[in-house]
Structure 1
Amino acid sequence: MSSRCALLLEIIFALLLPPLGVCLRYGCCTAEFFVCLLLTILGYLPGIIYALYAIVLVNPDRDEYRDRYYTLA
């Protein structure tokens, strides 16, 4: 779980350069990063919206699909 200071920095980076904020949270070779990069290229505002959604609302530590996979394996 990230600290409040790290979360605040990720949000600030997401407002300035959306893929950078997502990269700090998820890593640079993930689907979230490439979706954010594509949305930012297509339009700056959709990139910001997705970056804020991915950083604030989605918790990378609790992925329901990953949990289902590990219970099947």
Structure 2
Amino acid sequence: MDTNKLLLIVIAILLPPVAVFLKSGMGKDLLINIVLCLLFFIPGLLHALWVVTK
């Protein structure tokens, strides 16, 4: 596993929108993740992990 990917996974657990931004930049994934994090934290976390690992 890459060190960068491992670092992104740790960031995704702590701050999901930041990890999505670092992985995919400004876009629909970031917007979806922010909305999910505002509604509930766990769906935002799962979405961030999915974006980082895909």
- Same fold? TM cut 0.5: yes
Equivalent residue in structure 1 for 2:7, among 3, 9, 17: 9
Aligned-partner Cα distance in 2 for 1:53–1:19: 12
RMSD: 1.2
- AA aligned to 1:8 is L
- Highest RCO, 1 vs 2 (Cα 8 Å, sep ≥ 6): 2
Aligned residues: 54
Task: Give the TM-score taking structure 1 as reference length.
Answer: 0.70
- Aligned residue for 2:35? 38
Give runs of aligned pairs for residues 1-73 of structure 1, distance below 5 A.
4-27=2-25, 29-57=26-54
Structure 1 runs (4+) deviating above 3 angstroms are: none
Q: Could you list the per-position Cα deviations for residues 6-30 of structure 1 after superposition, in whole angstroms to 9, with x for gaps in the alignment? A: 1111111100010011011011x21
Aligned residue identity for 1:50: H
Structure 2 letter corresponding to 1:4: D
Give the percent of matched residue pairs that are identical in Structure 1 and Structure 2: 31
In structure 1, stretches of 5+ residues that fail to align are 58-73
